[in-house]
Amino acid sequence: MPKAPALPLFIAAQLPLHRRTYTLREGSDAERTIHYIDHGPAKGRPVLMLHGNPTWSFLWRKVIAELEDCRVVAPDLLGLGLSDVLPRLQDHSVKRHADAIAELVHALDLEEAILVGQDWGGPIIAAVGARLADRVAGLVLANTAVALPPIPRGTAFHRFARMAGFSDLVFRGLGFPQNVMRFTQGDKRSIRGDVARAYRWPLRGWADRVAPLALARMVPDSPDHPSMPELRRGEAWAIGFRGPVALVWGERDPILGRALKRHERAFPEAKVTRTQAGHFLQEEVPEALATAIVDIGTQLRRTRA
């Protein structure tokens, strides 16, 4: 796979991990390029980590540092990080994002993988699991919404994103929400300085800022929302998955902290780790996520022994 583009020094110093790019060959996004971290021993347990809105693979760097024996693949969703931009709001859908990540998994020939998803990364990675069930061995969900509410409505944040015109100005003109990520944290100091700059850097201009608004509008506000068929498909796969599942949650998350109860009901056999982190818990409690992944890997080895 081709090498990834260079990073500015202030990000490179924080992200000393192997990175690559892959050019998609199929579907609506053929010829577009996905940037991804591919770090760790080639024969290590594959772990596929997927971020959400408005972040990129940089989010996982602290967790990856704790997983010396795993091969961690952490892609950037199209439109975020260093992956190619999707130019129109309507280009973004659960299906297109899941199709792209599933193609990457095939291209890298990941087998017996542990899937890890946070924020939009959870539903999208569940949709990937529904496509590639025979390649999945374990599942870790963190501050996400794979188990859907009975009547989806979204939050005030998502209702604001649907205010055409004004939300375009705020998201695309003012760089929202990547410039206020710290306010979703348990410890607001966890995203500041060069860390905060690293999240803002890929979304520097109006043309780069389609994805944050598009992904906010992808959150369903009714049972008839266009995202629902793929979300239901991923939800059904995840709930029916018979491998080991872990839930790692930041209970001080103002967006999805309360969604833990719904996921405990949907995944009664899952091991649950509660923390006092916020939404982007990878910045606050990376060791909790890494421990959950290692524990699942240990379970899988014992099962196959």
Annotated catalytic residue, options 29, 92, 119, 158 = 119
- Please give the Cα distance from 123 to 128 (Å, whole number): 9
- Please give the Cα distance from 76 to 188 (Å, whole number): 24
Q: Is there a contact between 96 and 29 (Cβ–Cβ < 8 Å)?
A: yes
Distances (CA, A) of 206 to 51, 226, 258, 273: 22, 25, 33, 38
Annotated catalytic residue, options 51, 92, 263, 279 = 279
Q: Is there a contact between 72 and 101 (Cβ–Cβ < 8 Å)?
A: no
Map residue 79 onto helix, strand or coil.
coil
Residue 206 in tokens: 């109006």
Q: What does the radius of gyration of the chain's CA atoms come to, in whole angstroms?
A: 18
- The reply to whether 224 belongs to the active site is no
Annotated catalytic residue, options 39, 92, 253, 263 = 253
Q: Is there a contact between 283 and 198 (Cβ–Cβ < 8 Å)?
A: no
Residue 60 in tokens: 């996982």
- The reply to whether 253 belongs to the active site is yes
Burial class (CB in 10 A: 0-12, 13-18, 19+), 234: buried
Determine the number of helices (DSSP H) and then strands (DSSP E) in the chain.
12, 8
Tell me which DSSP letter residue 43 carries: T
Nearest alpha-carbon partner for 253 in 169, 299, 184, 196: 184
Q: Which residue has 């206020």 as its token pair?
A: 180
Residue 292 in tokens: 């959950």
Residues marked active site are found at: 119, 253, 279
